Amino acid sequence: MDQTHIDALRSLPVAPCRHLIEGQNVPASDGGVMDVVSPIDGRVLTQIARGTSADMERAIASARSSFDDGRWAGQPPGARKKVLLKWADLIEANALELAVLGVRDNGTEIAMALKAEPGSAAGTIRYYAEALDKIYGEIAPTAEGTLGLIHKEPVGVVGAIIPWNFPMMIGAWKLGPALAMGNSVVLKPAETASLSLMRMVELAHEAGLPEGVLNAVTGEGAVVGAALGKSMDVDVLVFTGSGATGRRLMEYSAQSNMKRVYLELGGKSPNIIFADAPNLDEAAKVAAASIFRNAGQVCVAGSRLLVEDAIHHDFVAAVVKAAEAMQVGDPLDVRTTIGAVNSETQLAANLGYVATAQKEGGAVVTGGTQILQETGGYYMAPTVVTDVTADATLTQKEVFGPVLGVSAFKDEAEAIRLANGTVYGLAGGVWTSNLGRAHRMVKSVRTGVMHVNTYGGADGTVPLGGVGQSGNGHDKSLHAIEKYINLKTAWIKL
């Protein structure tokens, strides 16, 4: 990465962002706009359209029309593949521009953003483009004289609601398989991180995606998100975000057409350190990175650190040392390892969790405060809290910030009990040299992803999904395609 090039891109004005409906950039129907405040310096960066219910209904109608007339679903697989591959190429060609735009919008440090956002998005789109013509139907084993065929068809219109922490990456997790299977999509980006995702949608049209197949409406979740959830013309709804919003979307489904709803929700993921970990120094550095990168704003962040009694004191000291060595600051500085918190509201919530933890007996051993106030931006020191009990708020509630809660355990059984002691089940990790113990922990910890002697970094070939109140269904891998197809049986008498 070239800092000079990054600085040149960050100085460019950002044009106001409109909806993208039927291939055209259009304003909100009532002319409403919302300020985009950059977490880097707290200043207004640009504006996005404040969508109305009518705007969302127009976008849904466009998607429905495009699906029904077959302008995309009716194209042969090779034609769809060609468009998606070109889209991936365009994302890759504009990677730095997209990454810088996204960082100005949501505050992720540029080194992470470049790889995790356009880099990941291009790879995801390319993966599903290559997969789409390899998804076959089936022939059932039936009695002589009959033929059972199982067809795999697109579901129709997909509504996708995307969060603010990694909008391009998570957006691609939904858009890639949905579009590859021939569906039409209506996209609703997060209010505090719409810009890079909306630009990515524009690139899809530059790649040749037919008008109306991918529509995007910006605005408030309570307005345009609700309209998407309640629509009778949306067949599947996919969402990544909070449990509270996920529950509302399920209610909207029940109130409307009982559309399928797939949710990737919160996590309170345990990172479990046994005394026989193969490399405790590495484990400490990875433990710090797993919670503090992107200012803790990662769904699978290792936000609970469970440490065996015998090494607790020394290991916590090593984590604190690693945390304090990380550089918090301007996310567009290539030397920064922890960027900005996404918004003033999120920063206040983070600090509130730290205050609650202290009231409940937790000890803040580093961090716990807002820093760099002189920038006008939203920055928080990486925070480690020890003596966190099993029923503490910091154990039970997702902070979604750079706050690590530490608890000690005596043996394997207690580690499992603590790990499974929340309503969540998104990710987890275990560090041990004992192969049998590693397998037992993978089996016993109730979670969708389990890391062994590492944390994070799984690629698009494996699924990501949660259990419990971390959601249902899977993003990534070929398994994600299952959300975006219907199975149809043809029972034929021969």
Q: Which residues are identified as catalytic?
A: 264, 299
CA torsion through residues 132, 94, 197, 61, sign: negative
**CB 388 within 8 Å of CB 395:** yes
| 402: nearest Cα among 326, 297, 474, 485 | 297
| 263: nearest Cα among 471, 87, 407 | 471
CA distance 484 to 175: 10
| Torsion, CA 429, CA 433, CA 437, CA 438, rounded to 10 | 40
CB atoms within 10 A of CB 374: 6
CA distance 58 to 22: 9
CA torsion through residues 194, 195, 199, 200, sign: negative
> Where do we find the tokens 């591959």?
85
**CB 54 within 8 Å of CB 29:** yes
CA distance 109 to 342: 11
CA distance 168 to 202: 13
Q: Which amino acid, one-letter code, is at 473? A: G
| 224: nearest Cα among 62, 59, 63, 52 | 52
| 393: nearest Cα among 433, 345, 350 | 350
CA torsion through residues 351, 352, 358, 362, sign: negative
Structure tokens at 249: 């979307």
Q: Which amino acid, one-letter code, is at 383? A: T
Q: What are phi and psi of 233, to 5 degrees?
A: -110, 5
